[in-house]
Amino acid sequence: MSQIAELGHQLSLNENPYGPLPSVREALSGALMSANRYPEFIPRRLPELIAQRLGFPADQIVVGAGATGVIMHILQEFVTPGDGVVMGSPTFDGYPLLTATVGGRAVEVPLTVDGHQDLTAMADAVDPRTRVVVLCSPHNPTGTCLGRRDLQDFLDRISPSVTVVLDEAYIDFVAPAQRVPSAELLARYRNLVVMRTFSKAYGLAALRVGYAVGSVPVIARIRRWQLPFGMTALAEAGVRACYDAEQELALRTAAITLECGRLTTGLRDLGFAVPTSSANFVYLTGCPPSEIDRLRGTFTRDGIQVKHCSTGIRITVGDAAATDAVVASVS
Ligand code: PMP
């Protein structure tokens, strides 16, 4: 077995390959010293901290146990059994799974062949029983982004009584000039909720911190589901320390983006179809099932864990060694 296989590469969960910065580690160790104390009953300081950073009032922010926790609360609040939740397919597994948990119906709209969410088909899929529509930008698993014009046209077509979740879990990997101005959209569309997480670019997946930004009445409804003492004190300490180390973290994000380009080029040079990704993963798509099976065996043989989706294989961007291992494995 090669050395690569012995070491292995965990590339199936879109994690950040880097552990916490020394300053973040120190803040977390400090917070551990008070582990005998409860965190806040209902978090106030953490939403306040995020609100200040983003330039929103704190009552427009709700935090949760990762974006997953907030998504759960959104679905609990807005979806009753039999209601529809429209989403792209494939998408982040949490959406169909949690929709089923609340008894909702996942209305899955296939992506276009080039890996984009089909906004026309998604708007057409909305019916009187639809309560929530989910858009992701960048999209998981393809890494493609929505453009401002398309997004706005879409929002104009959706009834204000339907909650539109814009999941920006990977937004920190997108160059600022390419980002849709979500603050402007939030001011215009009161049914829009923007989701973010500290699990990806900020590298705090183990601490479970995510949040949503939306209009005051919508956020108040989502907050009703918050679990008392549900957010850990480490979460607040970790976010505070990350905000204080934003420039060092941006260097890491830039390194991941560079590696994403290298991985994309390496795979395209071998003849694979890879949509241009604005996130920390790439998607091998358009392969016939026999090729998918071959790749599955190849990655397993070489100790590379990847995510198999219905229409392709998603590979998280790791460090340079991981890129080399993936390209060597499929060559
Ligand atoms: N949204 C998307 C699009 C994701 O890919 C993920 C994680 N893979 C999440 C939300 C959830 O992230 P977390 O719960 O760790 O914040």
List the pLDDT tens digit at each of the 331 positions of the chain.
344 445 689 999 999 999 999 999 999 999 999 999 999 999 999 999 999 999 999 999 999 999 999 999 999 999 999 999 999 999 999 999 999 999 999 999 999 999 999 999 999 999 999 999 999 999 999 999 999 999 999 999 999 999 999 999 999 999 998 999 999 999 999 999 999 999 999 999 999 999 999 999 999 999 999 999 999 999 999 999 999 999 999 999 999 999 999 999 999 999 999 999 999 999 999 888 888 889 999 999 999 999 999 889 999 999 999 999 999 999 9
Residues 227 and 104 in one domain: yes
Q: What is the value of pTM for the model shown?
A: 0.96
Residues 187 and 257 in one domain: no
- The closest-lying atom of ligand 1 relative to the alpha carbon of residue 68 is 14
Q: Ligand 1 centre and the CA of 330: distance in Å? A: 27
The residue whose CA is least distant from atom 1 of ligand 1 is: 169
Residues 69 and 138 in one domain: yes
Last residue of a domain, one of 224, 244, 264: 244
Domain count, the chain: 2
Residues 138 and 214 in one domain: yes
Residues 45 and 175 in one domain: yes
Is residue 210 within 6 Å of ligand 1 at its C-beta?
yes
Residues 131 and 229 in one domain: yes
pLDDT of residue 83: 98
Q: Ligand 1 centre and the CA of 13: distance in Å? A: 9
Residues 73 and 14 in one domain: no
CATH code at 94?
Answer: 3.40.640.10
CATH code at 285?
Answer: 3.90.1150.10
Residues 43 and 186 in one domain: yes
Among 167, 204, 209, name the best residue to mutate to test ligand 1's pocket (greatest count of ligand atoms within 8 A of Cβ). 167
pLDDT of residue 310: 86
Q: Ligand 1 centre and the CA of 3: distance in Å? A: 31
Domain containing residue 302: 3-19+247-330
Residues 112 and 80 in one domain: yes
Last residue of a domain, one of 213, 244, 275: 244
Q: Ligand 1 centre and the CA of 210: distance in Å? A: 9
Residues 135 and 108 in one domain: yes
Residues 80 and 210 in one domain: yes
pLDDT of residue 4: 42
Is residue 126 within 6 Å of ligand 1 at its C-beta?
no
Last residue of a domain, one of 193, 217, 244: 244
As a dihedral over the C-alpha atoms of residue 49, residue 55, residue 60, residue 63, rounded to 10 degrees, the angle is -30
Residues 71 and 171 in one domain: yes
